[in-house]
Structure 1
Amino acid sequence: MNTKILLIVFAFFGFQLAIAQETKTVVIDSMSVVSVDLVQQKMLNKQANKEKDAAAKALKDAEKDRKKAQKELDKAEKSRERAEKERAKAEKVRDKAQKEKEKAVRKIEKEQKKIAKADKSVEKLNSKIGKAEKDYTKMQAKLDKSVAKGKLSEVDIQKGNIKISKKQLQIKELEADLIKAKEKLEKLQK
């Protein structure tokens, strides 16, 4: 658009120059009339046309360079946007990997706590069984001793046997619980 306007302005001025000048005729011979200014006018017109063409070419080149620079800017902007997207994507992947790592660490810690709890439960049950067996042997020895002395009646002996049977039952239950706890511990350790 600017190029067209500039060309019109140059054409208008060139036209004005051609019309506005007076031509002086010089008589050399009575028969021939030579116009001196006409030759100068043609040269000026040629020079004006050359300048106009040079200006038009310069404008075209400037417009071409501007478009090329704009393309380069657009290309650089797209490249920057792509790089920004890639950076954001890489950051998301890194954050996701970090979260997964933290999740795995928490899961491992949770499993370790479960294993420790199961191990503690096994130890506690072993301790209870040991104490119950110790109580059982004491009760059995006490009953045997009392029966041997003959101090107890039949009812007292039966009561003592019932207490001993209850203690044996308690030991069996504790042993069953111990087996379950050990199975749980082995399952967690796998």
Structure 2
Amino acid sequence: MYSSETLSVNQKFTPASSSATAPPLPPFGAAPATSIPVSSANQTYNWTTPTYAPPPRPQAPVPWSSALCCAGGDITNFCITCWCPCITFGQITDILDRGSPSGFLNGAIYALLRHFTCLHPFYSCMYRSRMRHQYNLQGSSCGDCLVHCCCESCALRQEYRELKIRGFDMFIGWHGNMERQNRGVPAMAPIMQQGMTR
């Protein structure tokens, strides 16, 4: 099982083949290796040292297109938002959700929350925050909540005007705007990328 030959304590073990194939050691203070040997045929894999690149700076938030308490000349929207804000909210969410779920469903949820729980400002302020992030608008989450709690109809009208100024026809919804854009009707609305495409 074991070889009968033993090495003495003072004797060094050196394989016969190691001295012939071992590369010479670099001199003291030499530059470190920059490649990895791949095989014994002197092939190497070279790599570059990764450099740190800072992430791109986000653009500064832009102001809203209209003031919070501005009527904007749209008397119809003013009246609808004052007397039945669930309709305006449904139109806004249809555009922000890109038609799924429908604005009608979101408007119905808003109406139920308003009628039974008075939690509708918290539901609508989530969409204001979403809109701010989507269009890089000025504001904060706390400010969104305060605006919707203190003056819900003003906040909804401002969001409605912002989307209208950006080129959306609020009465035809997301799918209508996309259909109008695909037919070649000049649309001012930005093209929204939808998830992964082939």
TM-score, normalized by the shorter chain, greater than 0.5: no
Q: TM-score, normalised by structure 2?
A: 0.17
Which structure is larger by alpha-carbon Rg, 1 or 2? 1
Q: TM-score, normalised by structure 1?
A: 0.18
Q: Which has the higher helix share?
A: 1
